[in-house]
Structure formats: C-alpha cells, structure tokens
Structure 1
Amino acid sequence: MALLRIIEDGRALVSTEGTIAWNRKGPTVLEGHLPVSIAADGCDAAYLGMTLWSQRPSQIGLRFMMNSVPVLRVDVNGKHDSLPRSTHSHRYNAMTGKDDRIEILDNFVDVPMAPTIPLGTERKCFEVFANMANVQLNGTYWTDPWRGGR
C-alpha cells in the first residue's frame, strides 16, 4: 500500500486532532482513542489507541490504526508466543493484515514490571509511540486516563 510507505518514511503529513478520549471497557480496562489526520488520499479514518489495565499498570498496549487496519502495535511488557515477556512492536503488512515483523524494542520507555509505575509513564509511552508511527502530536492531546483513581 503506497499510503503506508509514505507514512512510514515520514513523507505524509500525519497529525493528531483533538484530545484523547478514554472509555472504560469493564471495571479494570481503559481504552484511549485519539483521531489522526492524514493529508493523503485513501485514508478515511485513522487513530492512535492505548489500552491500560489497572491491575497490570506496567503492561501497556499501543496501536496505530488506519481504515480499521492495524499499521503498528507496541506491547509494553507484553507476552508473545515466540518472545519472552518484553516490550515489542508488531509491524503489519498492509496487503495481508498480518504482523510480519515482530521485534523486541530495547530503546523504548523503560517500564519495570511492578504493581505501580511512576506518574507520567503512560503519557511518555504514548509520545514515544506516536513518534515511532511518524504522527505529530498537536495541542492539548493528552488527558489523565485515571482521573478518579485506579
């Protein structure tokens, strides 16, 4: 897909619109969704997403979706069949929708496996992920996901 190559190499203007919206998915899971604008034909809907688990704060899920198809995913301290528990990325093949490239990320935000994490860790992970996806974060894009406590 030509659009995906343009985004991956940073040639397309890809930026966020508005503020991340948080929704509860059950008593212990929060899903964040931040719309992304892509200045190119062929992309009707894109967003950056984040999944947080209150019972597992050191495990964070991040994804970049375009036209309902995953482009990039990062699992912070995630478990994968072929990998030890680690922070790793999944790059998807736009033609097949399969995650052909899975790699351990040694240079991502260090989030120790622990029952609590430092304040601001979720935001830092989101910012590093947006940079990996070549998405420019605009304005006041962030709100605290855990307002009201974990």
Structure 2
Amino acid sequence: MGDWEVDTVLGKQGSGAIVSLLERKSRLYLVQYVPSKTASAVADTIISMLKPYQAHVHTITADNGSEFVEHERVAAELEAQVYFAHPYSAWERGQNENSNGLLRQYVPKGSDLSVVTAEALSAVEKRLNFRPRKCLGFKQPQVVFDELLKAA
C-alpha cells in the first residue's frame, strides 16, 4: 500500500480539469476538480488530496504532462518519490487510465467541467469506490483501502 498513480482528465476547452489519483493495491480512486491545469494548481491539488494519507504515500507515478512540472514540491511536501511513466506508455499507469474511463461514464469527454459541482464529483467518486472489482475478489476499493489502513 502506498503506491499512487496520478493523471488529469480534461473537459471542454478552458473548463478546467479533474485531478485523479489511484492507490494501486486497493484501487481507491480520488478525484477533485481544478479550475486551471497549471502546474501550481495541480501540485496544490495533489498535495491537498494526499495529505490526509501522507503516512501511506510512498510513490506517485505520473505521465510526462506539463501539469506535473512541480513534482519536486509534491515529493518534498508528501515525503514521497515521484516517478514518470515513459512517453506514450499509458499502460504504465493502466489502473488510473481504466478508472478515468469509468469516470467518463459520468462525465463524458467534452463536458464543461466548471459546471460539475463538488458534490456531484464526490458522488461519482463514492460510486466508483463502492463498485466491486473482480481484481479485488469482488471487494470494493473503499473497503479494501480501509482494511489496509487498519492493518498498517
């Protein structure tokens, strides 16, 4: 436990982005809207999303997008290592990419993300984290994550 994948999900031009984080072992999926896909805004969002779990953040794997330029600040703040997937190698963060596809069932490509409320995004996150997964023996990611937290 403690290895995370990060990505951004884009909406309609200029409507911001959704920062998505996935914990690899439990498949826990966290999402948060960011009004601007700037490196500073994305770094602040990643830090705020993972700060409550800081003791359980060892590595973060990102793609080579310009929004992850402030990775050193994220690494220092969370006391974690940040790694980058090879260019055009989305399968190196495949679980996050898959979860982003599931998110797209609720927030279709080209949507205006600025009108998606925090409550709606939270409801989608909860729905995905309580969706049984075959890879977890049909357990729910939230349940597995909670079990791992208790065992740690």
TM-score (normalizing by structure 2):
0.28
If each structure's helix is expressed as a fraction of its own residues, which one has the higher value?
2
Q: Which has the higher contact order (CA 8 A, sep 6+)?
A: 2
TM normalised by structure 1 equals 0.29
Question: Is the strand fraction higher in 1 or 2?
Answer: 1
